[in-house]
Amino acid sequence: MIFENRFKNRTVIVSGGGAGIGAAIVSRMLAEGACVGVIDLHTTNLIAEVGDEASNRLLAINGDCTDARALADFCEKVVGAFGPVEILVNNVGQSGRERSALFHESREEVWRFVLEVSLLSAMRLSRLVAASMRERGGRIVNMASDAAFAGDAGLTDYAAAKMGLVGFTRSLARELAPYAVTVNAVAPGAIRARAHDKMPKTVIDRIKADTPAGFVGEPCDVAATVAFLASDEARFITGQSLLIDGGRWMI
């Protein structure tokens, strides 16, 4: 359910918002009245999908989320266009993908990339907005993964980065709670993505079998949860990690 104008005139940042879950979060925020800044390697498709009605409330910039200078420049442009950031969604993250391997065969250069994109980018963006949020209040939502809780084989670096994000969420939540800032994490499980289209049916069937709900979630399922945590209704929820995985891992 879309809540019209729930985020009217609020400034939102979504990292890695060019496609997939990030794009779904951007669409949800725009639909509920927010002004949204997005940084991703590629944002062309997102801009085309938004349409004219909300285009004046979207600032999409192509940039590398592992580049600290690019993040700082991006934040400056968003604040200049829309005002102080009130909601930050640290969505960007990635496993080693085709470079993933069992730990004894893994490479440190891949670990460092995964940590940079999945953990340090969130810490950098959060530091860029934290001082302002201490003055005005705000919401930070971090994108973890149920892989951190389940400990999937072959994803040691990714699981470490995402569980690091959970620890970061808890500590930052405690620091910022006195200033009306909440910090929470969401941890998606099997969510439909373009990569799924290339997977054999047997793999998809195994994912479904491992999910008590019996189906693969949609990006909009994550976007709805993020929107709730970013809203005034969630003002008394902070330092929490909410798994969106159809029951694959329960805490």
Alpha helices in 153-218 (DSSP H): 156-176, 201-209
For residue range 110-121, what is the model confidence (pLDDT) as tens digits?
A: 999 999 999 999
Q: Measured between alpha carbons, how far is residue 105 from residues 50, 101, 161 in Å? A: 42, 6, 18
Token pair in block for residue 146: 């149920």
Nearest to 28 by CA among 71, 57, 65: 57
- What whole-number distance in Å separates Cα of residue 220 and Cα of residue 202? 25
Amino acid at 115: L
pLDDT by 10-residue block (mean), the chain, 251 residues: 91 96 97 97 91 88 97 98 98 87 90 96 98 98 94 90 97 98 95 67 75 91 98 98 93 80
For residue range 133-154, what is the model confidence (pLDDT) as tens digits?
A: 999 999 999 999 998 998 888 8
Number of alpha carbons in the 13 Å side-chain half-sphere of residue 164 = 17
pTM of the model: 0.94
Which residues carry out catalysis? Answer: 158
Helix (H, G, I), strand (E, B) or coil at 39: strand
Beta-carbon contacts of residue 165 (< 8 Å; ≥ 6 apart): 90, 118, 119, 122, 142, 143, 144, 148, 185
Token pair in block for residue 31: 């639909």
Q: Which residues pair with 40 in a beta bridge?
A: 62
11-244 under CATH 3.40.50.720, yes or no: yes
Domain extents for the chain?
11-244
